[in-house]
A and B are shown apart, each in its own frame.
Chain A
């Protein structure tokens, strides 16, 4: 038995900003969903099921908000699923939706992820003290900073690599009208002189807190044949999880991330990701995670990832562009961030990424991670259907 090929035929996102005070939660998700439907030239009636994802409900103060959002997303009378896998959720949500198509349960599925972080304070929302549990310290940065230090020590990377990543991503964001941060006066010097938040992570090397939503229309072969614009085809997709803390855990390059990438590459028939993949949208909430994930994903050998960054390989016009959209460093509605990565990968192979389009992008990786570097979700999309 073979799986039904899955195509992305519609993509929509909101303009991501610090606070969307002009829309309700329903208004926010509807904006992204309507843009995705318009892109696919479909209506609400064409959608068989809705798969929605977001990170913790505490961020908006609404428990299981999909119940309230059913009306706004045209889900009444349809199946609706709510996914929550921490920061990787945007990616996981797309994969759950893709499985519905691959399993031939549904023909056309709307998948959407969102976060309206202005409704609360995300940093402290992530830092609730729990009796008898190791605290995450102040926000995610406090958790990840020591692991970045470990990477720097292990790889011998120069201190400037993080700033190079931030400088690149923030410049890429200037080409993306949906990105949250548009820092027209950005310079490398400004990044390097910004305040230190969680040593070695500086303010300009940190993701913002955003309001935003991202939606995609996933469909089967028949749906793709009817699509008005070129579809992106899913060539591989996988999720992997490992525990938060355990003796021997490699926080710098978690096994779950390596296994997840290996599974995606196996499905897609990729044996040399550095040569066979044209670009990657990687979940980089703190600048140094670019070189760390480049290694974890097999784009560079151990301790070599920073050399790609330093040599400009990951620049928009480099040999392996990374985070063409400006990445999580420029836009971070947490629950949606993974799906924005997945959607950007699809935009690229559809040739619809506008000013941040990579010429000739035929196979692009979308990546998300969450929790304490323990939940991973990834997909590889291409401009042609999978060979079966």
Chain B
């Protein structure tokens, strides 16, 4: 299946992110987000009043309070009133909503942002509240334990072993040495088992961070960016929630999303994958049919920085930024949500020929 051609071309024209840190006790969420919003606007010279639509992604459960996104809105400067929406999802889905808004022609520019602070609580415990509240959540299986089930399934299927996982960890963090925003850079010891077969090194750092992306349509995008990252296709799919009914070694949802986004029509040169755990990169590479020649996670990926709710949007931003600076011509960006890659989004971005 090929993706249907769209009547309107939409591009990522700017991207900004915080330095991702283990804690940000000294900053409120708004204070963490504000510099990123300013930076992404500064890159294009746009002002808040020039933005036609704003959409964000965040989680009340991470913030520990209801309506947490309302405070972040104050940072946007929603006065005079703005056309605005919010998803309780990773910011990559906020970008998807903004993309549909631009497609309708009701908006020419959109600001998308996402933020998450994992440091105030125990994020492994918090994420157990995401599970089936009747049959699974009462057992409190945490995010690392579930990822370990997935890793073990891959090992049992002969698709991975511990040295292969360690190599993924090492490659991502080596790539992160050139990413000033990353939380973990360079050699990191694999360490002992956190939950067998996953060692500390197989798991993402816990940290706080925010990111923002600017979208623009058609000629507006060309005005705002020397080399816009055109969204050639974007799609997302969800799988069953019950782990028992899924094959954890495969990701049919990411494959379908990639198909619908047109990812298989031509090879990509770069892929930014949202794989917080090493073993998940193996699942994604297979489902996305990424060859050895594809530059996977030049940013260091989620193993180098994993601000929950923003990490997926950062993948789109990193892929776009490489196109902006001419380091990529066609890049795939992926975001995930839910236990063991339950929900996946794929975007295909392209720069115009140089």
Check: A19 CB closer than 8 A to any chain B CB. Answer: no
Are B70 and A244 closer than 8 Å at their CB atoms?
Answer: yes
User: How many residue pairs bridge A and B at CB < 8 Å?
Assistant: 180
Check: B253 CB closer than 8 A to any chain A CB. Answer: yes
- Residue in B7, B132, B236, B339 with the greatest tally of chain A CB atoms within 10 Å: B132
Among A63-71, A185-193, A308-316, the stretch that binds chain B is A63-71
Check: B50 CB closer than 8 A to any chain A CB. Answer: no
Given the interface pairs A241-B82, A242-B79, the reply to whether A58 lies near B238 with Cβ below 8 Å is no
Are A68 and B238 closer than 8 Å at their CB atoms?
Answer: no
Check: B60 CB closer than 8 A to any chain A CB. Answer: yes
Given the interface pairs A71-B242, A77-B256, the reply to whether A255 lies near B80 with Cβ below 8 Å is yes
- Complex Cα gap A99–B74 (Å): 26
Which listed residue, A75, A86, A255, touches B81 by the CB 8 Å rule?
A: A255
Are A128 and B241 closer than 8 Å at their CB atoms?
Answer: no
Q: Mark B318-354, 1 if CB is under 8 A from A, else 0.
A: 0000000000000000000111001100000000000
Are A63 and B61 closer than 8 Å at their CB atoms?
Answer: yes
- Complex Cα gap A76–B83 (Å): 31
Which listed residue, B8, B73, B103, B129, touches A243 by the CB 8 Å rule?
A: B73
Check: B193 CB closer than 8 A to any chain A CB. Answer: no
Total interface residues on B, CB under 8 Å, equals 63
Q: Report the minimum CB–CB distance from A147 to chain B (whole Å).
A: 17
Within 8 A of A (CB), among B59-103: 59-61, 64-67, 69-71, 73-74, 78-89, 93, 96-97, 100-101, 103
Are A57 and B61 closer than 8 Å at their CB atoms?
Answer: yes
Q: Report the minimum CB–CB distance from B68 to chain A (whole Å).
A: 9
- Residue in A95, A99, A241 with the greatest tally of chain B CB atoms within 10 Å: A241
Which listed residue, A24, A67, A96, A128, touches B342 by the CB 8 Å rule?
A: A67
Q: Report the minimum CB–CB distance from A32 to chain B (whole Å).
A: 19
Are A82 and B240 closer than 8 Å at their CB atoms?
Answer: no
- Complex Cα gap A55–B66 (Å): 8
- Complex Cα gap A70–B344 (Å): 13
Check: A270 CB closer than 8 A to any chain B CB. Answer: no
Check: B269 CB closer than 8 A to any chain A CB. Answer: no
Are B237 and A68 closer than 8 Å at their CB atoms?
Answer: no
Check: B131 CB closer than 8 A to any chain A CB. Answer: yes
Chain B residues within an 8 Å CB radius of A18? none
Chain A residues within an 8 Å CB radius of B235? 79
Are A246 and B70 closer than 8 Å at their CB atoms?
Answer: no
Q: Report the minimum CB–CB distance from A19 to chain B (whole Å).
A: 16
Check: B2 CB closer than 8 A to any chain A CB. Answer: no
Closest to A60 in B: B133
- Complex Cα gap A85–B97 (Å): 13
Which listed residue, A86, A103, A130, touches B104 by the CB 8 Å rule?
A: A103
Are A83 and B81 closer than 8 Å at their CB atoms?
Answer: no
Given the interface pairs A70-B239, A238-B83, the reply to whether A63 lies near B127 with Cβ below 8 Å is yes
Check: A225 CB closer than 8 A to any chain B CB. Answer: no
- Complex Cα gap A125–B67 (Å): 10
Chain B residues within an 8 Å CB radius of A85? 85-86
Chain B residues within an 8 Å CB radius of A55? 66
Given the interface pairs A56-B66, A68-B132, A99-B100, the reply to whether A81 lies near B87 with Cβ below 8 Å is yes
Given the interface pairs A63-B129, A64-B59, A240-B84, the reply to whether A103 lies near B100 with Cβ below 8 Å is yes
Are A79 and B100 closer than 8 Å at their CB atoms?
Answer: no
Given the interface pairs A77-B256, A241-B81, A241-B82, the reply to whether A99 lies near B104 with Cβ below 8 Å is yes
Chain B residues within an 8 Å CB radius of A241? 54, 73, 78, 81-84
Closest to A71 in B: B240
Check: B252 CB closer than 8 A to any chain A CB. Answer: yes
Are B89 and A64 closer than 8 Å at their CB atoms?
Answer: yes
Q: Report the minimum CB–CB distance from B159 to chain A (whole Å).
A: 23
Are B238 and A80 closer than 8 Å at their CB atoms?
Answer: yes
Check: B167 CB closer than 8 A to any chain A CB. Answer: no
Closest to A79 in B: B236
Check: A207 CB closer than 8 A to any chain B CB. Answer: no
Chain A residues within an 8 Å CB radius of B178? none
Chain B residues within an 8 Å CB radius of A254? 81
Check: A222 CB closer than 8 A to any chain B CB. Answer: no
Which listed residue, A68, A75, A238, A244, touches B131 by the CB 8 Å rule?
A: A68
- Complex Cα gap A64–B71 (Å): 19
Given the interface pairs A24-B134, A84-B69, the reply to whether A61 lies near B129 with Cβ below 8 Å is yes
Closest to B246 in A: A76
Check: A41 CB closer than 8 A to any chain B CB. Answer: no
Which listed residue, B7, B67, B131, touches A86 by the CB 8 Å rule?
A: B67
Check: B196 CB closer than 8 A to any chain A CB. Answer: no
Check: B194 CB closer than 8 A to any chain A CB. Answer: no
Are B67 and A56 closer than 8 Å at their CB atoms?
Answer: yes
Closest to A92 in B: B85
Closest to B137 in A: A62
* Closest 8 A/B residue pairs (Cβ): A56-B66, A256-B81, A103-B103, A241-B84, A63-B61, A84-B88, A63-B129, A242-B81
With A67-B238, A69-B241 given, name 13 new contacts (CB 8 A): A60-B133, A68-B130, A68-B241, A71-B241, A76-B238, A99-B97, A99-B100, A100-B100, A125-B66, A128-B65, A238-B83, A240-B82, A255-B81
Q: Hey, which bits of chain A sit against chain B, CB under 8 A?
A: 1-3, 24-25, 55-65, 67-71, 75-86, 92, 95-96, 99-100, 102-105, 125-126, 128, 130, 132-133, 238-244, 246, 254-256, 259-260, 263, 371-372, 374-375
Q: Hey, which bits of chain B sit against chain A, CB under 8 A?
A: 4, 7-8, 28, 54, 59-61, 64-67, 69-71, 73-74, 78-89, 93, 96-97, 100-101, 103-106, 126-127, 129-134, 137, 235-242, 252-253, 256, 337-339, 342-343
